[in-house]
Amino acid sequence: MEALPDLDNLETYKADKSRLGRALEHLAGDFPRPEGAFPPPYGVVGLGEGWWPAELLRSRFPDTLARGTTFVLAGGYGLGRLEGLLATAREESDRVVVLGFGPEAEVFVPSSPLSPYRYLRYVLEATGESELGAAVDQALAAEAERLAPYVESPQNPAKLLAWGLIERIPLWVASERYPMLAQALQQVFARVAKSLSIAPPPAALEFFITALEARHEQGDPLVAVVLGDDEETRLAKEVLTTRVDYLEELEPPKARGPIPEALAYWYRLAWTSYYLALLYRKDPGDHEVLERLREAAG
């Protein structure tokens, strides 16, 4: 069997033809900046690459459409829905701001596995939430110091986790403190690591007990990755201990607040996905077929 690439050898990174690693390393602060705050109240709705930041912002702006300013995070894959959504938003809102990479966008956000951060940061700045935005950037910068390629494997949590996920399927176990984080991790893991993972449905404890019962003795290569600590994740760990290969509880990020913490976890797993792709000798960047899909799906 051919030896796996060495993540501490610069030759390994030649597979990163899209230079996603550089974008990851410099992600904090890399977002389009509004000229100022837009008039409140605020609404936010997301499609495609913009769905998760819209969900994260729901705690700050519960309305999808608002009388003041509605932000439409048009991240592609609209399948004809965007036109109707924009028409409704323009009827309901005094100002509609469209972010994305299509012809409707007034704020350009390039298509990328990392675009959720850029959508989120623009909206935080555009709604006067710059303090929260700075906390997100600080959380990512703290993570980058120990996750970047120049940090050798023994001290790099993302590299170590990538090694542990070779030929295994992660099962994301995320605290309810972080809305839809498991689904966001499933998305970035698929797109960057080119690999399958499992995000449980809302009734996660029921899923853990029932979905793994028939086959857990057959040796399915599952790794439970636990993010955050609350009553549900503690119960999940008890259930999953006998149902997965092993359980990996991630160290909490150096961040305060649900949104900075969620972004820090997502960023760490984006790095893990990046390293896993390299271990599989795959380019972590987007394939050309995704560009054709975006053109077809609108």
Q: Which amino acid is at 101?
A: F
CATH number at residue 153: 3.40.50.10490
Domain membership flag for residue 248 = yes
Which range of residues forms the domain containing residue 230?
147-279
Give me the pLDDT at residue 56, please.
97
Burial code of 229-241, b = ≥16 C-beta within 10 A, e = fewer? eeebbeebbebbe
Spatial separation of the C-alpha atoms in residues 61 and 66, rounded to whole Å: 9
For the stretch 223-271, pLDDT in tens is 999 999 999 999 999 999 988 999 999 999 999 999 999 999 999 999 9
Ranges of residues in the chain with a pLDDT under 50 are none
- At 259 the pLDDT is 98
22 found inside a domain: no
Q: The pTM is what? A: 0.95
Domain presence at residue 160 = yes
- Spatial distance between the Cα atoms of 36 and 221, rounded to a whole number of angstroms: 49
Does residue 258 belong to any structural domain of this protein?
yes
Q: What are phi and psi of 75, to 5 degrees?
A: -90, 30
Does residue 81 lie in a domain region? no
Cβ(72)–Cβ(102) below 8 Å? no
